[in-house]
Amino acid sequence: MAINKKIKELQEKREKMLLGGGEQAIEKQKALGKRTARERIMALLDTNSFIEYDLFVEHEARDFDMAKKSLPSDGVIIGSGTIYGAPVAIFAQDFTVAGGSLGRMHSRKITKIMDHALMMRIPLIGINDSGGARIQEGVNSLAGYGEIFFRNTISSGVIPQISVILGPCAGGAVYSPALTDFVFVVDNISKMFITGPEVIKTVLGEEISMEELGGARVHSEITGNAHFFASTEEECFDQIKKLITFIPWNNGQKAKAFEPGEPKREYNIEKIVPDDPTLPYDVKDVIRSIVDNSDFFEVMELYAKNIVIGFGRMGGRTTGFVANQPLEMAGVLDVDSSDKAARFIRYCDAFNIPIITLVDVPGYLPGVDQEHAGVIRHGAKVLYAYSEATVPKLTVIIRKAYGGGYIAMSSRHLRADFVFAWPSAEIAVMGPEGAANIIFRKEILSSEDPDGTRRKKVAEYKEKFANPYVAAARGFVDAVIEPSETRRFLMHSLNASENKTVQMPEKKHGLPPL
């Protein structure tokens, strides 16, 4: 039968295409510890869930003898599938085909799947592994990048966008990941930079390796470009899958609810926080003592560790956590931690995820470098993000809430819906030492025993003001609760705010201190 022959023809054509850049190129890819683009998609998506589009797309470039060259699928694979049953649109650049370089049709395939994701309101995952612009295609290649950036921006806050850097991602190409919600990197595989080591060497005479310039660690620890760091591609895919379970398909929905579970007993909330507010503890243990199954999924674990952000579930529902980390830099707010927190707050707000804030903040980090790095502008982002957020906002003041840090960390004044404080809370304009030094300066200086007087005055101040009751007397704190009551109060409040509605004044958009 004629149709059988045609089917056979289709199968042969497919097979040829599925080989991408050919066996030799695939071997090279494997030698670098990398999977091929299709293998990556298969590893990430549910078994047999992937359907590929545009397998037969060919480039139209004619200059520089390009007409003679065949580039299978034009170096990028697009399609859709599911992760734990949730639909996702996906593209993966194929480094085995012309180094995954981006030409006109390559970019058209990407924008096609982006349009699809936005139209269908499903998450978009982009796997980046590309040498950059396809130079032979000139300005067409630049146009392609621009079309991608535009769509990243328009889709921002509507559908979740995830970027996975599994190879080089250099020059203009880096701006697509930078515009998306979450960037995943893998040690020794991911490389991101605007200008590479060679250019830096020629122009500036500075020598640096690709890994030191823009490797996975650099972007996870120093630049804050990456949100998740993994040692292998496999670990990276597990992280993506886990993230997908915490977030909704789009901004019109809530994340899928899970079976509720109690926190593990080993996380005993009463035994984590030392009484002395100058002593450290790991605030992640407090989070684990509150969330379902003690399962806390941290975001940006290695960057600005003095603030902790991430997802957990309360009674089966996804909740975002923002917490000062006394174990790192005393939990101060500074340029990087403000940036980190503000963006996460906005993410949660965009995707209907309630925010729980755990406060133990001594204030802002002093220093010329901080002031000159713009701690005013960056610090303001936190105030902006909390004030603007209309999702349920719950705050627990664990110990210190001093000065500007108190206001910034989801205080009543920024319209937190529920503010609870532990009996150990110290809500004050500044720490007792500093406050006593200012208020009782004259008395201390003129005293015969300045040190003794200072100690006395500090103790006096502590007694009078370093507690939750002054704020509670003003109604700035809704309830002073025992640590062991925290989960119950938070669950109750989350239930109560299920239908929270906020009317904001109409505007085109605000002007966050970017």
Partner 1 sequence: MIIRKTELTELTMKKNEKLGVLNIDSNLYKTRISSRFANRKPYKLIDPHMILSFIPGTVLDILVKPGQRVRKGDSLMLLDSMKMQNKLKSTMDGKVKTILVKKGDRVSKGMVLIEVE
Residues making contact with partner 1 (CB under 8 A): 203-206, 222, 266-268, 271-274, 276-282, 284-285, 305-306, 326-332, 362-363, 365-369, 372, 402-403, 430-435, 437
Shortest distance in whole angstroms from residue 218 CB to partner 1: 13
Are the CB atoms for 365 and 406 separated by under 8 Å?
Answer: no
Task: Quote the least distance from Cβ 370 to partner 1, whole Å.
Answer: 9
Q: Minimal CA–CA distance to 479: which of 405, 416, 406?
A: 416
> What is the distance between the alpha carbons of residues 431 and 331, in angstroms, rounded to a whole number?
14
Torsion, Cα 60 63 66 71, to 10 degrees, reads -40
Residue 39 vs 221, nearer CB to partner 1? 221
Both tokens of residue 218?
């650099």
Q: How far is the CB of 110 from partner 1 (least distance, A)?
A: 31
Query: How far apart are the C-alpha atoms of 411 and 243, rounded to whole Å?
Result: 28
Using an 8 Å Cβ cutoff, are 104 and 144 in contact?
A: yes
As a whole number of angstroms, the distance between CA 468 and CA 225 comes to 38
CB of 346 to partner 1, least distance (A): 24
- Our CB check for partner 1 shows the closer of 102 and 273 to be 273
Q: What angle do CA 114, 118, 124 make, to 5 degrees?
A: 55
Q: Tokens representing 97?
A: 């085909």
Q: Which is nearer to partner 1, 182 or 297 (CB)?
A: 297
361 token code pair: 């903040």
Beta carbons within 10 angstroms of residue 398's beta carbon:
27
By beta-carbon proximity to partner 1, the closer residue of 99 and 362 is 362
Closer to partner 1 at the Cβ: 402 or 418?
Answer: 402
| Distance in Å, CB of 230 to partner 1, minimum | 21
Dihedral sign of CA atoms 202, 207, 211, 216 in order:
negative
Least separation in angstroms between residue 205's CB and partner 1 is 4
Q: Which amino acid is at 87?
A: P
Cβ distance to partner 1 smaller for residue 196 or 280 = 280
C-beta closer to partner 1: residue 104 or 288: 288
Residue 441 beta carbon to partner 1: minimum distance, rounded to whole angstroms? 12
Q: What is the 3-state secondary structure (H, E, C) of 234-251?
A: HHHHHHHHHHHHHCCCCC
